[in-house]
Amino acid sequence: MAAEPPGGGGAHALPFGGQVLVLWLAEAELRLRRTALGGGRFGGGSSGAFGLRGRRRDAAIVCCGCAAHAATGVVLPCVLLRRRKRSEALEYLLLAVHASNRFELSCQFELDYELKEDVRLLGGPTVLWRHADRLFYISPGTGTVRSPPVQLSSVVWAGEIEGEGTVVLGVRTARLQEDEAEDGLSASDRAIWGTEFFGYAIEAQKMLASTCFMPHAYSRVVSSVHVCKSEMLKKQLRTSVVAVTHKNQLIWFQDGHPKGVCELPYEKPWSIKTAVTSGNHLLFIVSFASGNVCVVRSENLQVASKWQKVKSVLVDDFVGCGTDQLLLLFKDDSSTDLLSTFKITDLGKVNYESGINYKDDVPAAEGLQENGLLTIQALEKRLQAGLSSVRELQQHLGLKKRVLIESCRALIDLVEERSHILPAAKKEGLVSLWDDVENPPHSLSKEASSTSKVPDHFIEKLWQRVVGESLVVGVKVTESFSLSLSDVSLSLVVDQDFSSISPIIECRNKIIKLNKAFSALSVSSCQIEPPPKKMKLDLHSKNDLKNQVHKKCSKINLEGAKTVTAVTSLSPLLAFHCVCCVVLLHAKKQKHQNDGLQKSKKITLLCGKVLLSLEDISDGKYSVKMLRDNSYCTGSMEDILAVLAASMRFSFQIQSSDFTLTSVNSWLLGEMECTPFKECHDYMFCHKAGNVYSTVFNWTLKSPFEGVLTLFCRSLTVLFQCLHSLTKVLPPSCDVKLLKSGSKDVLTEQLALALEKEMLTSRTSLSSKESKAENSLIRQNEPGKKISDAPVTSLLDSEDKVQQFRMKLQNEREESVLNMNQTMNGTLYQEMALKLAEAQLSSDMIVWRLNKS
């Protein structure tokens, strides 16, 4: 193997990672030598070789460059070789060079002609070339040579564009008969210029609007193009392009419009490169056919420097300062070494020339090593600071988790009437927001003890069912206990033994009431409020804004037993194989006062525990069982309630002016294969196979021409399927309307009760204030404080007595005015305003729901 590469055109220099790779052919091998700058010269480095079959004169290096591999994304040096086979066919080898100097064959192909025109190495790696006004390419992904259906006379640029992949910009003869709407170029314009630009995306196999790069008028004079920037903005390609022309000009285009021109110092420019030097300066490097090179600054489009007799110019970070420099390799007939005469510069602080010893200069090798060490130390400190922030965040999240778990344990102990000792705040690194008081205030202790006064027979039954992907937990409440529908909810809390998961389970609540006629009514426990009123009042209060407004409303809800259900997703719980959950019921117990108003007290009850295991679910222990028994559907009451709770509820008002609605009931019993529940005759279960199976219907006729159809279905898809089937049997004149907020009769009655409560609240507040003023006047006019009963004439027999009488009368008048205009302290006013706002918010909410129904 030769110790040094030959000079002249046989050797190729390729910049990569701050090094210069020299490639040349010697004997029957392709040889490689890596060199790096040190002591004012390129030397050292490793070497490698790739064996070739045949003679040296039958092989040649076509081109070399750096390309990213599609499989790994790693950028590697690549070299394209040509060798002649015995059959006179030309074989081409595309080789990739690894860090160990090992050559890897990326692809291999044969041609009957020699590659000379517009040969490019692109990502993949891909070899792209032009021959006979056709475009060809091959890569490891294609395996064979492919040719897009385009004609072109030259390739001015090829590279990657975001969103489009590999794109080729070329020049072709103007197509006078072709209509390109995106270019907006008329046939006369093409005839004038004779040629036109075009862009072609290889992967997408589509033409691009070439005018976003530059106008067609420049197609006859442009020799090389470099796309500096490209991005897709609002579905439009935005570009920044620089081009050199046969007119010895450099032109900068922005989004297809020329922004500046620079006159070049030499003739026949044929290629252009870019470099980003220190200070983020963008330089345009133009090479000429005569071997000359010039550099143009982008900020002013002025020639900054120029050189002659240059063999090649390379761009990379050769000195290790983090930005680009130019490596100019000059022609030297006295030396066979390709790197014997060179110059490195960034047109700034970095300037190196061959033949000068830079051993003691800075930045030399020692200075660069020192800079690198300082950079590494700074990066290590940033990494340590980042790790510290991550550790602090992990500790904070762990503390939050412990606080939540401890709060749930305290809640469970409170419900089960067990004492709970909270850990000290200082132990967790927290600051207590409460004063350390041994004896809590009377109001708090009284409220905490309210749980023990609830009757034991309040909870009648606790059950659980699995419906599809949901777990339904139900608590049946006794009929005798006074609770309103909107104030009851369930919470599922994971038992303390499962501290590795979130203690509180997200669930949605529903209340199912069964009246004495066994008719089910499903109502959400969290009623929808009108959006403008949701934040009407945000004060800390012991009274909830969703209280029922009158004792008459409570009587309506107490006609039958109620079942409160909680529905949650089943799959997260099954991940732990076996989970135990504590069921808590939250409600308000209402007490009627003498003034007709209700006073509510919040209570929390422990209903029991439910155990959920994967084995029980697999055995179908908690599955819903709905079977046909003659003309009825058999199923326990819990099964019926579970299906209703896990379903979505929709009510539709159906009216017909010309025909009766008997077809609806026939549709339910026939087409939908429904049978009524044995426990609830008004509700029918759908046994039809398919998505509609397990849908529950309720059809209530108000008159032969009007009725309400209520559906309990699993999803909106099932709802649409049912409605689609229903429309086929309804009379054409039917009017179907979705009822969003329930029956108008019930809402009207609720509105009357709410307005009555609002009136009583306002009257009570004002009457209490008036009674205080009257009592004050009575106290001031007591017998001991009245004016003497002596005759008025005896009080007016002297001037002094008249004056005294006048003063007393004036004082009594002022006191009377003051009593009638008493001020009110803030606490009393806040209490009165809160009560009045509660009543008004309740009535406003019902009015909104009434308007929506």
d(CA 605, CA 586): 7
Angle, CA of 184, 189 and 194, to the nearest 5°: 120
532-545 burial, b at 16+ Cβ within 10 Å, e below that, comes to ebeeeeeeeeebeb
For 114-150, how does the pLDDT look when each residue is reduced to its tens digit (9 = 90+)? Answer: 888 889 999 889 999 998 888 999 988 888 899 988 8
Q: What share of the chain is helix, strand, coil (3-state, %, to 5)?
A: 25, 40, 35
- pLDDT-derived band at 570, boundaries 50, 70, 90: confident
What does pTM read for this prediction?
Answer: 0.45
Per-residue pLDDT, 561: 58
Handedness of CA 412, 416, 417, 418 (dihedral sign): negative
For 807-834, how does the pLDDT look when each residue is reduced to its tens digit (9 = 90+)? Answer: 887 887 777 666 666 566 677 777 778 8
Report CA 837 to chain centroid distance, whole Å.
38
For β-strands 12-16 and 165-173, DSSP reports them as unpaired
For β-strands 648-655 and 632-634, DSSP reports them as unpaired
Strand (E) or helix (H) holding 722: helix 716-727
138 Cβ contact list (under 8 Å, min separation 6): 107, 109, 126, 127, 144, 145, 146
**Rounded to the nearest 10 degrees, what angle do helices 799-820 and 744-780 cross at?**
160
Per-residue pLDDT, 771: 56
Q: For residue 16, give both structure tokens.
A: 């990569």
d(CA 200, CA 169): 7
Q: Please state, rounded to an integer, the average pLDDT across all residues of the chain.
A: 76
Phi, psi (deg, nearest 5) at residue 564: -95, 130
- SS3 string, 50-86, reads EECCCCHHHEEEEEEEEEEECCCCCEEEEEEEEEECC
Angle, CA of 532, 538 and 540, to the nearest 5°: 160
Higher pLDDT, 836 or 436: 836
For 165-198, how does the pLDDT look when each residue is reduced to its tens digit (9 = 90+)? Answer: 889 988 888 765 544 444 444 455 555 667 788 8
For 622-663, how does the pLDDT look when each residue is reduced to its tens digit (9 = 90+)? Answer: 888 888 887 888 878 888 888 888 888 888 989 988 888 888
DSSP 8-state secondary structure symbol assigned to residue 146? B
Handedness of CA 292, 295, 301, 303 (dihedral sign): negative
Listed residue (527, 457, 599, 588) closest to 845, CA to CA: 527
Report CA 434 to chain centroid distance, whole Å.
39
Strand (E) or helix (H) holding 467: strand 459-467
Among 192-206, 559-573, 606-620, 694-708, the least confident range: 559-573
For 746-769, how does the pLDDT look when each residue is reduced to its tens digit (9 = 90+)? Answer: 667 777 777 877 777 777 766 665
Per-residue pLDDT, 803: 74
Sequence letter at residue 468:
G
Q: What is the CA radius of gyration of the chain?
A: 45
Complete DSSP assignment for 251-262: EEEETTEEEEEE
Burial of 560 (0-12, 13-18, 19+ CB in 10 A): middle
Listed residue (152, 138, 61) closest to 106, CA to CA: 138
Is pLDDT above 80 for 287?
yes
User: Best-predicted range by mean pLDDT among 172-181, 285-294, 335-344, 480-489?
Assistant: 285-294
How many helices (H) and strands (E) the chain has is answered by: 13, 45
* Ramachandran assignment for 578, one of left (phi > 0), alpha (psi -120 to 50 degrees), beta (any other): beta
d(CA 294, CA 326): 11
d(CA 218, CA 241): 13
Asked whether 19 and 349 are in contact (CB, 8 A), the reply is: no
d(CA 683, CA 520): 8
Phi, psi (deg, nearest 5) at residue 586: -110, 135
Is pLDDT above 90 for 221?
no
Q: For residue 374, give both structure tokens.
A: 């300082």
Q: Report how far apart, in Å, the C-alpha atoms of 396 and of each of 389, 391, 401, 620 are.
A: 10, 9, 9, 42
For β-strands 696-703 and 706-713, DSSP reports them as antiparallel
Asked whether 78 and 63 are in contact (CB, 8 A), the reply is: no
Strand (E) or helix (H) holding 91: strand 90-97
d(CA 628, CA 677): 9
For 347-392, how does the pLDDT look when each residue is reduced to its tens digit (9 = 90+)? Answer: 888 888 887 766 544 444 455 566 677 788 788 888 888 888 898 8
The stretch 677-683 carries a mean pLDDT of 83
Q: How many CB atoms lie within 10 A of CB 318?
A: 23
Angle, CA of 801, 805 and 807, to the nearest 5°: 115
